[in-house]
With several copies, the nearest count.
Chain A
Amino acid sequence: MKKVGIILVSHVPEIANGIPKLLVQVAPDVSLSSAGGTDDNDIGTSMEKILSAIEKNEAEEVLAFYDIGSSKMNLELAIEMTDKQVHLYDTAFIEGAYTAATLIQAGVPLDEIEKQLAPLKIK
């Protein structure tokens, strides 16, 4: 397992569950965890689900990606409540996560990954 993992936060459970299927193909050694939907699996986000996705990620340090603005706020709250080091990116959701996954798998250091994520910042 790589030292850096990825967490994915979406308003929709299916999206949160689906993205790891795209990423695992290029990043089999990257720990991927995700949080989608509200506590009742409605459309929305849940701080608790996000927190548990962060906690159960097997990596020491995690990169976080989200779909739209309201996910970010719950993600930030969760980040404040965990001891894990979480880096949050305002990039295109799927494309940012895909890029990060590819580069983590290839052993690229975080500062270089961030350089490659920079042009994907759209929020």
Chain B
Amino acid sequence: MLTAENTKKWMDSFYRKIEENKDYLSELDTPIGDGDHGNNMMRGMDGVKNSLAQLQDPDLKTVLKAIAMGLISKVGGASGPLYGTAFLEMAKKCSETQKVNELLSVALAGIKKRGGATEGDKTMVDVWSPVAQSNAITPKIIDDAIASTKDMQARKGRASYLGERSIGHLDPGAVSSGYLFTALLETEGTL
């Protein structure tokens, strides 16, 4: 069950993982992209941190919306509107349900609609989809999902220009999404 409180903790944890792995994420984005995914996510999470810090006793919807707007405003790359749409969809749905898997399921639909990608296109969708569909998120589900992008040929985003040559590299957005879900796993009371 997501609450305003545990969602903020979730974001603190995601922030730290991005901070730690910023360079690695940008490195992943170099052979099959423009090398900025780590910086983009760091800028985005700084935006989220600032937005959240300004809220006084917010409800869950306000928290989710602030996360969305922080990411949309600050990321600057494709992952901004994608992560942003995910949290925006969760914000819309959260008056009805606070269950994580139901919220992740509308978030996934939002990402797919925004970017037009589907499973197997070597994008963050390949992590969001198995995670949203599992009854119990585990580290293995997350890690397998990330690893599955390695052998895929990209069909969306900058990596898709490389065709077959995109094979053999992990998708950076899949890896950052992995941090998001690992952070969720590590945040007490969310699941």
Q: Which residues of A pack against B, CB within 8 Å?
A: 25-26, 38-39, 42-48, 68-70, 73-74, 76-77, 98-99, 102-103, 106, 108, 116
**A44 and B40 form a contact (CB under 8 A):** yes
Residue from the set A26, A46, A68 with the largest chain B CB neighbour count within 10 Å? A26
Would you list which residues of chain B between 145 and 167 have a CB under 8 Å from chain A? Answer: 156-158, 161-163, 165
A-B contact pairs, 16 of them (CB 8 A): A25-B36, A26-B34, A38-B76, A39-B73, A43-B34, A46-B76, A47-B72, A47-B81, A68-B158, A69-B78, A69-B156, A76-B114, A77-B72, A77-B84, A102-B161, A106-B31
Number of B interface residues at 8 Å Cβ cutoff, please give it. 27
**A69 and B162 form a contact (CB under 8 A):** no
**A76 and B81 form a contact (CB under 8 A):** yes
Complex CA–CA separation, A47 to B156 (angstroms):
20
**A70 and B77 form a contact (CB under 8 A):** yes
Q: Which residues of B pack against A, CB within 8 Å?
A: 31, 33-36, 40, 72-78, 80-82, 84-85, 114-115, 156-158, 161-163, 165
Q: Which of B31, B74, B81 contacts A73 (CB 8 A)?
A: B81
Complex CA–CA separation, A99 to B34 (angstroms):
13
10 shortest interchain CB distances as A-B pairs: A44-B76, A70-B78, A38-B76, A73-B81, A25-B34, A102-B161, A26-B34, A74-B81, A47-B72, A77-B81
Residues of B contacting A70 with CB < 8 Å? 77-78, 81, 157-158
Q: What residue of chain B has the Cβ atom nearest to residue A76's Cβ?
A: B114
